[in-house]
Amino acid sequence: MAQIAKAARVSRQAVYLHFADRAALMVAVARHLDARLGLPADIQDMMAVPTGAAMLEASVAIQAGRNPSVWAVARALDAVRRTDAAAERAWQDRLTARLVRLC
């Protein structure tokens, strides 16, 4: 958190005032990336297709197009999530968010 505060040119306390913990910061980064890359709109478009086969094709296209863009964040979370409770909470939030969007 100190490195993030320094890079953002704010105090560490300012970071903690906005994000309760590292998990909240990691979730915010992942959600920001999703929004920036247009994932919510892509999922809406996928849900609007007329057939299951078309939905499957759209899902694969979303994953193939999106994964390279989010790989660095996902890999960083996955690397530490088994030993870092904050990273695990962020990882689980992302999995839950993906499932909720698809239901």
The whole-number pLDDT of residue 83 equals: 94
pLDDT of residue 11: 93
- The first and second tokens of residue 14, run together, are 């300012």
Q: Helix 39-47 and helix 52-80: axis angle, to 10°?
A: 150
pLDDT digits (tens, 9 = 90+) for 30-74: 888 888 888 888 888 998 999 999 999 998 998 898 888 888 878
- For residues 88-96, give the mean pLDDT: 86
Higher pLDDT, 9 or 77: 9
Q: Tens of pLDDT along 6-17?
A: 999 999 999 989
